[in-house]
Structure 1
Amino acid sequence: MHDTTTRALWLAVAVLAAAFIGAAAGTITWQESKDAGDAVLVGAGAFGGGLALILTAIRFVTDRSA
């Protein structure tokens, strides 16, 4: 996984998946509370947490020394 192109592709996939997670969480929060501030904060938190989890999982799966 040391190829720059492969790493960039994995990063793009991870960010896209995390964006879907964040958008879903924000939308669900907006539907429940109709408060834009809460929806943005929940969506951003879900994006950050999802991205961290996805990148950690990719690192675990592709690391040959694990």
Structure 2
Amino acid sequence: MKTRIQELRKLHRISQEELGLAVGVTRQTITSLEGEKYTASLVLAYKIAQYFSLSIEEVFDFSQLEEM
């Protein structure tokens, strides 16, 4: 699943480690999300979106899921 996590992190000048700590996951989880190797749970997606004061849809691209 495509995300804007890396873009948003760079915009806010925070590391993967900082974001992971803020939302309760490891740096490796953030790396996997950014590399599209892992799909966030609804709870994690909510926490990440809330961290950036955005909606889940503004952070995660669900258009590919509709094709399945």
Same fold (TM > 0.5): no
Task: State TM-score, norm by structure 1.
Answer: 0.30
Instruction: Please identify which structure carries the higher helix content.
Output: 1
TM, length-normalised to structure 2: 0.29
> Which structure is larger by alpha-carbon Rg, 1 or 2?
1
